[in-house]
Structure formats: structure tokens, C-alpha cells
Amino acid sequence: MSSLSIVKIKKQDCVVAVFDDDTTLLDALQVAMDKKYDIIDIFTPFPVHGIEKVIGMKRSNLAIAAFVFGCVGLTFGLSLTGYTMYYDWPMNIGGKPTWPIISFIPILFECTVLISALGMVATFLTISKLGPGVQNIIYDTRATADRFVVLIKDGINGQDIRSTMTKYGAVEIRSDVHVDHNLPMPLPIKLK
């Protein structure tokens, strides 16, 4: 690409600890949190219940996004029906009112649900940097099958990290480099 780079890349040495059971994973994570290790990321094949509490992750705000998109959808529905049936081409259909909102409830409801669902999913993919063609780095190909992979930032206490994780049930310990592409917007191609 050109010399002008808008991409910030952060590289960190990390310890990759691989577990094969979610119960031991939660145990080990509790220990890691108590010892104040810098856990960069955790990859699991399914959402492990209780993990948010252990690593102190807050509940996502996507529900608020869904609500806002729902309001947008309702506004869109009201505008559509209002403009077409009341402003642009009002008609006398059996003497009934020209903008009967009650009668339009099915339309308004469908617009609300549609925009809310599409908007929320689009937001989810955008903020998670997922999308068609996105190539994220996979640190262990078994993370989507039957292994639970923890990335802990390596440093002075690297030996301590490795021994603790092994003690608490890691089946594999590796060293790797965690690369974080801090793109302004998720793009379908990898910029260097």
C-alpha cells in the first residue's frame, strides 16, 4: 500500500495457554485474575457461562442499540405511511380517516422489527470487527472445536505465568505474538 498508513498495529508477546475443559478454564482464569495477569483475550468454542463474572467483563450495550434502531424503524414507518397516505395522495376509502395509525399498526410494527434486527446485527459485526472477508488471526485452530485458549501478556513474570497455568490445568503452553490491528473502521481487506 502507499506510504501513508492510517493503521495502528500493536504487537505484544504473549503466552498461549490451552485448556481442554471449561471448568478448569474458569479456575485458572480466577487464579490469573487474582495474580493480576494481563489477559489479552480468551477463545472458546462456545460461550462459557460464568466467564464474564470471572474476568470482569461488563454486559454489552447492544440492546440499547436495538432499541434505538427500533425507534428509527418506527419513525421510518410513520413517515412512510404519513407521507404517502396523508400528504402525497390522500384518498377517501369508504369515508375512513386518511392517516389511520391504528390501521397501519401491522406496517409500523414490521418496520420497527426489521430495522431493529438489521441495525443491531450490523452494529454487532461492526464493533466486533467481523465481516465478510475479514481475516482475523487464529491463535489455535482447535479453539472453535474443543480447546479453550487464553492469551496472557508475556513479560517479566513469564515463567510464573507459564508455571501457574500449567499447574491449573493447561494442556499446552506456547509463546506467540498478539497482533492488534487498531483500524478506524473494519475493512474487508487487511491493510499493512
Binding positions for another protein, 116-145, rule CB under 8 A? 116-118, 120-121, 124-125, 127-138, 141-145
In 3D, which of 128, 155, 139 has the Cα closest to residue 38? 155
The answer to the question of residue 146 lying near another protein (CB under 8 A) is: yes
| Footprint of another protein on 148-187 (CB under 8 A) | 149, 166-169, 171
Q: What is the DSSP string of 3-60?
A: S----EEEEEEEEEEEES-HHHHHHHHHHHHHTT--EEEEE-SSPPTTHHHHHTPPPP
- Amino acid at position 14, single letter: C
| Footprint of another protein on 24-63 (CB under 8 A) | 24, 26-27, 29-31, 34-35, 41-55, 57, 59-60, 62-63
DSSP state of 99: S
Answer whether 169's CB lies under 8 Å from 27's CB.
yes
Query: Among residues 72, 74, 78, 80, which is the contact residue for another protein, using CB under 8 A?
Result: 80
Q: How far is the CB of 121 from another protein (least distance, A)?
A: 5
The answer to the question of residue 7 lying near another protein (CB under 8 A) is: no
Query: Among residues 2, 4, 11, 88, which is the contact residue for another protein, using CB under 8 A?
Result: 88
